[in-house]
Structure 1
Amino acid sequence: MSTTIIKTNFNFPGQLGVYHGKVREVYTLENDRLLMVATDRLSAFDVVMPKGIPYKGQILNQIATKMMKATEDLVPNWLIATPDPNVAIGVACEPFKVEMVIRGYMSGHAAREYKAGKRKLSGVEMPKGMKENDKFSQPIITPATKAEMGDHDEDISREDIIKRGIVSESEYLQLEDYTRKLFQRGSEIAEKRGLILVDTKYEFGKTKDGRILLIDEIHTPDSSRYFYAEGYEERQRKGEPQKQLSKEFVRQWLISEGFQGLEGQKVPFMSDAYIETVSERYIELYENITGETFVKADVSAIHQRIEKNVLTYLK
């Protein structure tokens, strides 16, 4: 089993604080900068799994970096540098406490809600007579409130976000505009690679001088769902499951083992062999979405590697 990075406890020059999220550790530095370490932790149903996934942090960080660069002409983002395969440094922002979820297809959470008889998601009407994985006539934005560690994100309507003062109306309209532009570009990138960007989420923050920036990760297997374009129509016609690249395969495995993050449920045992397959799936998505061969970073002394690379950059 490869060495994985589960937790960090760095003390960088000019460090002001650290926040341990579900899968990322965020270090606040002087001069309004943030340093984000993408760990190998795996979160599903808002629960962090006991074991890490080899190379997962590197994969997410590198895909997000590529996608930030591929969309920076459309939407300004927080990223300044990536001094290590698992590290991103960028502009410190106050995050908006909503996740901007956008769905081009009726899949995942939307499909589960639909099957349960609901026809509204985050205040948005879902058409009658749809099948799982059908395409919406237009992508729908179904925001969710950002949960603290261990809590579940909750669907919330545009009206409630504005009414509760979570985001002002003018800023929310800006977030929606950015979300649609990013999804359009992400869909075009995916199409060139023979994939369909099914749904995804974006997070935004505000700088001290009032600029709205795209933050966190984008178009990764943790934040997005992809289908293979080839055979999509035929599988829909036959009512077969879609061939997909996303974290959904982990969720489906957990559901089959009787776990959905509900109270009293125990996280099922993940064997080393199963974890290896999860790592391979993440690498598969990296190579499919970027069109590049994944190069595994040296993980023999991963904490020391990160520290050395960051210190070199900060100098």
Structure 2
Amino acid sequence: MIKGKVRDIYDEGNTLLIISTNRLSAFDRPICDIPCKGVILNQLAAWWFEATQAIIQNHVIELPQANSMRVKKCRVLPIEVVVRGYITGSTNTSLWTLYQQGARQVFGNQLPEGLQKNQKLPQPILTPTTKSAEHDRPLNLEDITKIPNLTPALWEKIKTTSLALFQFANDTLAQKNLILADTKYEFGLDNNNQLCLIDEIHTPDSSRYWDIASLQQAFAENRDPASYDKEIIRLWYTQHCNPYQIKELPKAPLALIHQVSERYQALFSKITGKNVVCAES
């Protein structure tokens, strides 16, 4: 068994069994457990995997349990493709952090002067990072060309596919009064050497979801919009310590942990139209 930051992975020979746990990861490490989170991640990812099959194939075979997914094995491409529609974030690799540090050229994208936090970008941009057990690191085009199995043609397909998935998600979410501000995708190659979407898709762990109704007013008041993801717990940690530099993090308040769980459950219901059955995972 391989224990990841959020998921436990069992090698079954020709397939993998992936268990989504309640662990919440931020700042490149697990930081706390969120009730019901494993089931929500698994079920919501399955919903999006099914909805996006016309854009790209994925690795899902079946869901044996509410918090587990059996998938086909793929050769993982060691890159996380982050698509951003807005300039925001609080982590070291977030676009807003980089912009505040003076970055105006981000992976071939020229950012104009005078952008404000949570402002919509002229068009979505890609900011790839390493897929690493340690710290994620932004990648440039030269880094991309050195990744094994990632040819220029395949990278172009990954870019096109990622933007198509992002556009499809926001078209779908507009009907539900939600915005996908940013998200990440991971890819692999199947036994036929075909590109395959793996890991997760459009979960509140891998994405930033905002409420459309609150966005305009929040932007005018220079505050963050109502969100349905883990940003509130990331912000709590950055306000109480430097999570990248200290070894042992303080414990998040129980009320905050339950608030995150409630937001995950609310997001699941808004997107799928169903209520999640929160068995412990």
TM, length-normalised to structure 1:
0.83
Structure 1's consecutive aligned runs of 4 or more residues displaced over 6 angstroms after TM superposition are none
Q: State the partner residue of 2:208.
A: 225
Q: State the partner residue of 1:114.
A: 99
Q: State the partner residue of 1:147.
A: 132
2:68 to 67, 73, 87: 87
Question: Is the 8 Å Cα contact of residues 162 and 168 (structure 1) preserved in structure 2?
Answer: yes
Q: State the partner residue of 1:96.
A: 77
Q: Do residues 238 (structure 1) and 227 (structure 2) align?
A: no
Counterpart CA distance in 2 for 1:282 and 1:89 is 23
Q: State the partner residue of 2:172.
A: 189
Question: Is the 8 Å Cα contact of residues 97 and 166 (structure 1) preserved in structure 2?
Answer: no
Taking only aligned residues, the RMSD between alpha carbons, in angstroms, comes to: 1.6
Q: Shift of the alpha carbon at 1:127? A: 2.0
Q: Shift of the alpha carbon at 1:274? A: 3.2
Which amino acid in the other structure matches residue 85 of structure 1? Answer: A
Q: Do residues 294 (structure 1) and 276 (structure 2) align?
A: yes
TM alignment of 1:34-73, pairs within 5 A = 34-49=16-31, 51-73=32-54
Deviations 1:181-234 (A, max 9, x none): 110111112111100110000000111221110001111100000111113223
Question: Is the 8 Å Cα contact of residues 67 and 219 (structure 1) preserved in structure 2?
Answer: yes
1:276 to 249, 258, 262: 258
Counterpart CA distance in 1 for 2:28 and 2:215 is 29
Q: Shift of the alpha carbon at 1:162? A: 1.0
Counterpart CA distance in 1 for 2:34 and 2:238 is 19
Question: Is the 8 Å Cα contact of residues 121 and 155 (structure 1) preserved in structure 2?
Answer: no
Q: Shift of the alpha carbon at 1:165? A: 4.5
Question: Is the 8 Å Cα contact of residues 33 and 90 (structure 1) preserved in structure 2?
Answer: yes
Which piece of structure 1 moves more, 177-186 or 163-172? 163-172
Counterpart CA distance in 1 for 2:161 and 2:9 is 24
Question: Is the 8 Å Cα contact of residues 79 and 131 (structure 2) preserved in structure 1?
Answer: yes
Which amino acid in the other structure matches residue 222 of structure 1? Answer: D
| Structure 2 unaligned spans of 5+ | none
C-alpha spacing 1:120/1:212, structure 2 compared with 1 (3 Å): same
Instruction: State the SS of the aligned residue for 2:180.
Output: strand
Rg larger for: 1
Instruction: State the SS of the aligned residue for 2:258.
Output: helix
Q: Shift of the alpha carbon at 1:105? A: 0.6
Which piece of structure 1 moves more, 105-114 or 233-242? 233-242
C-alpha spacing 1:166/1:267, structure 2 compared with 1 (3 Å): farther
TM alignment of 1:237-276, pairs within 5 A = 237-260=220-243, 262-276=244-258
TM, length-normalised to structure 2:
0.93
Q: Do residues 132 (structure 1) and 143 (structure 2) align?
A: no
Q: Shift of the alpha carbon at 1:281? A: 2.0
| Structure 1 unaligned spans of 5+ | 1-17, 303-315
2:58 to 70, 77, 85: 77
Which amino acid in the other structure matches residue 205 of structure 2? Answer: D
Q: Shift of the alpha carbon at 1:272? A: 3.4
Q: Shift of the alpha carbon at 1:259? A: 3.2
Aligned residues: 277
Counterpart CA distance in 2 for 1:200 and 1:194 is 17
Indicate the percent of aligned positions where both proteins have the same amino acid: 36
Counterpart CA distance in 2 for 1:213 and 1:201 is 14
Question: Is the 8 Å Cα contact of residues 233 and 256 (structure 2) preserved in structure 1?
Answer: no
